[in-house]
Structure 1
Amino acid sequence: MLTSNPAGFWIRFFALILDGIFMFIVIGIIATIVYGQFYIERFTVLDTFDFLYHLLLPVFWYGYTVGKKVLGVRIARLDGEKVGLGTMLMRNVVAGLVYALTFGIAVIVSAFMVGLREDSRSVHDFIAGTYVTYNPPEELDNVYGNDHY
């Protein structure tokens, strides 16, 4: 359970904002093409793109989303393995259920955990066995002594 160079609250917060802006623009462009307007107030199939973005992009891009890549941080597993679909399902879906079942209280607890813990791990990090780091995949190979990336 080694965390190396963990990312704190503000960098993770700004990465989330950048991801939100990126997905708003992408979904807006697609909505304009499909529906003829940039913003759709009702739930559409386009809303699943945001879910799939946060679920699948880190699996295929070594823990990065666009916002995390721009800011130089990424999601990493504690055991040094590459994040997979199961890890991201735990991180996004199971943790999302925990956040919903606690009526958002766990979200507030998570924010404090990231800001106050030395390893900057949140509730969803504990559920999935992950953390967010500044280290690129190559540096983690040196830390863990493996060739998973």
Structure 2
Amino acid sequence: MSCYDDLELRARVGKGDFTALFEAIEHEQALRGNLWRFCPARAFGRAEPGDQKGMEPPFPPEGEPRPEPRTPWEPPPLGPAAPSLAGRWRRLFAGIFDIVIVAIISSPLVWTSWHIVKHPQTGTVTLVDVTHTYLASIVGFLYYWLFHAYWKGQTPGKKIFGMRVVRENGERIGVGQAAVRQLTEVVLAWLCCLWIIDLGWIVVDARKQALHDKTAGTLVVDA
């Protein structure tokens, strides 16, 4: 609508007053310019589905809930603001740091005993030294399990190098989950050379998971 009604505009133009016509055109252009800021489609006369009379603001008033997006969208496994996966080299250095701590703590629990072994055919007697590491293994299990379960998924090594263990959905790791993770790592370490495969899996896996991570459903991410 212009600032003049149709009858008045025609009467003034018929009398040769083109000023009214120019004012009406400028007024119409100003209206279209204001409308363009809210909805370009309406500025050219194209109606949007569900449009009602009058212009609608681009956003709801302050305090009103925002409309849901029209296109379904699913966030990535760790959410839209998820931390990145921890680097392989940092994981290696953090692991070496923790191994040194475990070795220092468990060293008093490691001892060597001598056993006399007699050869059944030749009858020769030999002294064989046997290193006992069972208690040291228990100390190592408790070290990793308790720190991961009760210290936000971090051991001292992971804390220093800025990483932590979480569930695959990004939530904090649970007590049972931490126990399964560490028990799997201990069993694989005792079974010949499987610990090499366990840790080497980090290099080829897309999410940098070791086998004990896949068993427990965990990830190592930046803290």
TM-score under structure 1 length normalisation: 0.69
Q: 1:44 to 1:111 in 2, by over 3 A?
A: closer
Paired with 2:177 and 2:202, the residues of 1 have a C-alpha distance of 19
How far did residue 99 of structure 1 move?
5.8
What is the match of residue 11 of structure 1? 90
What is the match of residue 143 of structure 1? none
Paired with 2:135 and 2:212, the residues of 1 have a C-alpha distance of 26
Q: 1:118 to 1:84 in 2, by over 3 A?
A: same
Query: In the alignment, which of 188, 191, 196 is matched to residue 108 of structure 1?
Result: 196
How far did residue 100 of structure 1 move?
4.9
What is the match of residue 83 of structure 1? 173
Structure with more relative contact order (C-alpha pairs < 8 Å, separation 6 or more): 1
Structure 2 stretches of 5 or more lacking a match? 1-76, 113-131
Query: Is 1:69 equivalent to 2:159 in the alignment?
Result: yes
- Percent of pairs identical after alignment? 29
Deviations 1:76-132 (A, max 9, x none): 11122211121112211135435655x434x33444431233321121111111011
How far did residue 58 of structure 1 move?
0.9
What is the match of residue 213 of structure 2? 125
Q: 1:58 to 1:24 in 2, by over 3 A?
A: same
Contact 1:110 1:122 in 2 (8 A): yes
Please, which moves more after superposition, 123-132 or 4-13? 4-13
Paired with 1:127 and 1:119, the residues of 2 have a C-alpha distance of 14
Paired with 1:15 and 1:86, the residues of 2 have a C-alpha distance of 23
Query: Is 1:40 equivalent to 2:111 in the alignment?
Result: yes
SS at match of 2:111: coil
Paired with 1:100 and 1:22, the residues of 2 have a C-alpha distance of 20
Q: Give me the CA root mean square deviation.
A: 2.6
Which has more radius of gyration? 2
Contact 1:9 1:111 in 2 (8 A): no
Contact 2:141 2:186 in 1 (8 A): no
Structure 1 stretches of 5 or more lacking a match? 137-149
Contact 2:150 2:175 in 1 (8 A): no
SS at match of 2:96: helix
Q: 1:78 to 1:27 in 2, by over 3 A?
A: same
What is the match of residue 20 of structure 1? 99
Paired with 2:207 and 2:137, the residues of 1 have a C-alpha distance of 32
SS at match of 1:62: coil
